[in-house]
Amino acid sequence: MSHHHGPTPGSIATALPRFALVGSPNAGKTTLFNSLTGLRAKTGNYPGVTVARYEGRHVLDGRDVVVEDLPGAYSLEAISPDEQVVAEALATGAVADSGLDGVLVVLDATNLRRSLGLLAQVQNLDLPSLVVLTFTDELSRRGGSVDVDALARAVGTRILPVVAGERRGVAALSEAMADVATWPRPIVAPPTNPDEVAAWATSVLESARFRAPGSDPRTRRIDAVLLHPVWGSLVFFAAMFTFFQLIFTVAAPVQGWIESLFGWLGGLARAGIRTDWLASLVADGLIAGVGGVLVFLPQIALLFLLVSLLEGTGYLSRAAFLMDRVMSMAGLEGRAFVALLSSLACAIPGIMATRTLPSAKDRIATMMGAPLMTCSARLPVYVLLIGMLVPSDVRWGPVGAQGVIMFALYLLGALSAMVSAWFFKRIVGRSGVALPFYMEMPPYRVPRGRTIAVAVWDACRAFLRKVTGIILVATLALWALLNFPIQGPDELAAAGVDPGDSVAVAAHTLDNSWAADVGRAVGPVFEPLGFDWRVNVGVLSSLAAREVFVSTMGQVAAAEDPEDPTAALAHMTHTDGERAGGPVFDPPTIAALLVFFVYALQCVSTLGVMRRETGTWRWPAIAFAYMGALAWVMALLARLATEALL
């Protein structure tokens, strides 16, 4: 029934017929958008998740039409950038020959009184509009009711009830969109004065014989615990703690299979490719580098599975409510927590989510803290380094030490983000009176399996795209740096290296490579942290993407010992007595590295988005500088503390 492209803002020609979806956060708007277009736009149970304009195509009577999902908004009188996007899009669309053929106003049947104010504002724009009434099934289940036909007569607009997931309702909506020319308009436009709008809404509800739904008993009972300031916070932290235990226990077997697969592929490449340099490029560059990052795909999938489950059940809005109290200590509010929470997946959507903050100064403060939240790109680095630091069998009863360290790193990142936001809020200054923070508290729902599966797959697909894009390019560049200049037999013999000893040749080539030159050049900067040139190269390469650190270490190990990279990596972690030199990764160095990655802003894409959102390079430059300095200082303290403990 539909084709899809995207979702990407502003990607489709404006010549096609165009419909906009408008509604308050959590009204079911994005779910409807997905049903119409087949797109997989992200949904959430709190304001600020959808902060960009997403477009998709829907096939209507054999031709494409554009459906645009505007950000969730409570009013067209914008108090934040995301509501400004909605107001401007509809104001532009109201101008002849400039845009919208129709507006689909999505109203939540369980929150009709609040929703009618937005409908009144849309109707005053004199655009063809149709009301999509969602959650009518939930309205009935909770003892409420509404006469849909009477409601349509009262507002002067056609109304279609559509229950999420039901194809019948979506098909009826599609037919109605094809017939946009016949959509009725109110004979008398609704009032514009806020008091008069409230009275108008009351008369509309009376005419529609609306009976408000009762509170959901199950939701009420669960919220008595989960919204409790003490018990709710304990449940939240317990859930997070349990998750990080699962990261290592559940994902470990799958990770082992992937490691074995890429090890086998590397062996095939070395055996099957006759040209030495090409065999090295394929086996040590492509397979070892990319495979070294892909091995962490199970952890990425688990992370997004948890987040999707929490979103789907309606729990994340409760978490935002709990954290509103905490954010107030930093001079911010719950909207800022939503932005920081979004940064757990990636700092980019977190920075974009600051558009929901009414104050520009609050937006800056939150942006400066968002990159400190532990994003999914840090996960492979943490798993690799924690695995080097603590054996998997170290446990305290049922609790694994590796999971505890991972939880502590996430907690450190979150606390640091809060402190950073607090600091920049004080530096930038306050901005007027705090505006109210609207928080949706939807009933708890059983998440749809398909929705969860799609969310996890999309996250994994984005990770795979990154691996086959920027990480692949960085991996190939690193292979060249680690393997050039190539030395001939005479040069090797002059250096006292037997040209027939592949391990000795590899070690000599690595030690005299361009990468070694770069790593040693920056040595004075990182020497106090205990990093040797190999680690320096990994840190520098991670500026492209944090995961590249993992592929760099994989390539270093493969370049050091092509026959057995695993043994080479083990040697870098422990001194085995058979080869010269101490371990590259001793406990103080690993502790310093872990803390360094908590604080350093190693993501070019994040800096670019920060530039776009602030309109200047000033704030990205400040963010990069202060996080780099903080990473160095905190890593040094971590090293000194670890040395003192040992």
User: DSSP letters of 252-308?
Assistant: HHHHHHHHHHHHHHHHHHHHH--SHHHHHIIIIIIIHHHHHHHTTHHHHHHHHHHHH
Q: 3-class SS at 104?
A: strand
What's the pLDDT score for residue 8?
41
pLDDT bin (cut points 50, 70, 90) of residue 37 is: confident
Is the full-model pTM beyond 0.85? no
Q: What is the mean pLDDT of the segment spanning 278-305?
A: 78
Q: How far apart are CA 433 and CA 443, in angstroms?
A: 31
164, two tokens: 């999420």
Out of 45-49, 179-183, 623-627, the most confident range is 623-627
H, E, C per residue of 550-586: HHHHHHHHHHHCCCCHHHHHHHHHCCCCCCCCCCCCC
pLDDT band of residue 10 (cuts 50, 70, 90) is very low
> What is the pLDDT confidence band of residue 573, given thresholds at 50, 70 and 90?
confident
**Sign of torsion over alpha carbons 464, 569, 393, 646:** negative
Q: Which residue has the tokens 């409601």?
A: 151
Over residues 136-155, mean pLDDT? 91
Task: Please check the confidence at residue 164 and state whether its pLDDT lies above 70.
Answer: no
Residue at token pair 């037999």: 489
Tell me the average pLDDT across 94-120.
Answer: 83
Least confident of 234-238, 469-473, 602-606, 630-634: 469-473
Closest CA to 308 of 340, 348, 345, 338: 345
Q: Say yes or no to pLDDT of 353 above 80.
A: no
What distance in Å separates the CA atoms of residue 326 and residue 580, rounded to the nearest whole number?
52
The alpha carbon of 273 is separated from its chain's Cα centroid by a whole number of angstroms, namely 40
> How high is the pLDDT of residue 95?
56
Q: Which pair of tokens denotes residue 157?
A: 């607009």
pLDDT at 430 over 70: no
- Looking at the DSSP bridge assignments, the partners of residue 395 are 400
What percent of the chain is predicted at pLDDT more than 90? 18
Model pLDDT, residue 215: 78
At residue 273, the pLDDT reads: 85
Amino acid 334: pLDDT:
64
Q: What is the mean pLDDT of residues 164-174?
A: 80
Q: Across the chain, what does the average pLDDT equal? A: 80
Say yes or no to pLDDT of 615 above 50.
yes
Pairing outcome for strands 54-60 and 63-69: antiparallel
Instruction: Please give the C-alpha separations between residue 531 and each of 126, 396, 509, 558, in angstroms, as whole numbers.
Output: 65, 31, 20, 19
221 SS3 class? helix
- For the ranges 92-101, 227-236, 344-353, 394-403, the lowest mean pLDDT is seen at 92-101
Check pLDDT > 60 for residue 41.
no
The residue-averaged pLDDT of 64-88 equals 81
Structure tokens that stand for 312 in this block: 């789907």
CA dihedral angle for residue 440, residue 441, residue 443, residue 448, rounded to 10 degrees = 60
Higher pLDDT, 609 or 104: 104
Query: Could you give the C-alpha distances from 241 to 133, 298, 345, 405, in angstroms and in order?
Result: 40, 18, 17, 10
